[in-house]
Amino acid sequence: MNCPYCGHYDSKVIDSRDVNDGIRRRRQCLRCEQRFTTYERLQPTSLFVIKKDGRREEFDRDKLLAGIRKACEKRPLTAGTVDGQTDEIEAELYQMGRTEIPGAVIGDMVMARLKKLDHIAYIRFASVYREFEDITMLKEEVDTLANHTTINSADQLPLIPPDEMAVPEKNQRRARR
């Protein structure tokens, strides 16, 4: 903090005290000897997720982890993949330096990663997250994936038969009607 009077870069602290959510310091410029006050505040580290209905909820890593883990259940992924993906997304979120973030942004981040990682996990996650209205919407997404599986097909795990696909209960019921 440069001196507000002469612009000198250095000052000494002559008094320091806690105030509400920060620290108030009296400083004296080492060049012109004028005194001035600075306040030091803790940068809020909590991150809030804005939900669809507008409510805010504190970001919860465990919740993110659980969602990804569920999508990746029984998929042939190496140990630590789910944790690693969660760590990376969490780090990315905090690096954005925002205090609030729409849930949809986080959902899209997860989907982008799962899409590269494993198509089944991706479809599972998308089916919950996007709340596919019926089996047609789900099929469209699968078809899109199948059509775009060209360059990366060698890295991708094969799409498994539809009966093994994790269609959420409610969607299954809807589809049978």
Structure tokens at 51: 């939900």
Distance between CA atoms of residues 172 and 176, nearest Å: 6
- Should residue 174 be labelled a site residue for Zn ion when binding is judged by CB under 5 A? no
Question: Does residue 113 sit in helix, strand or coil?
Answer: helix
Q: Is 5 in the site for Zn ion (CB under 5 A)?
A: yes
14 near Zn ion, rule: CB under 5 A: no
CA dihedral (9, 10, 15, 20) in degrees, to 10, reads 40
- Give the amino acid at 34: Q
Question: What's the closest the beta carbon of residue 36 comes to Zn ion, in angstroms?
Answer: 8
Residues 1, 6, 14, 96: which binds Zn ion (CB under 5 A)? 6
Beta-strand relationship, 22-29 and 11-19: antiparallel
Query: Within 10 A of 157 (CB to CB), how many other CB atoms are there?
Result: 13
- Of 22-30, 43-51, 139-147, 152-160, which part binds Zn ion (CB under 5 A)? 22-30
Q: Which residues pair with 55 in a beta bridge?
A: none
Give the contact letters, 65-104, x = binds to Zn ion (CB under 5 A), - = no: ----------------------------------------
- Given 1, 13, 14, 32, the residue binding Zn ion (CB under 5 A): 32
Binding residues vs Zn ion (CB under 5 A): 3, 5-6, 8, 29, 31-32
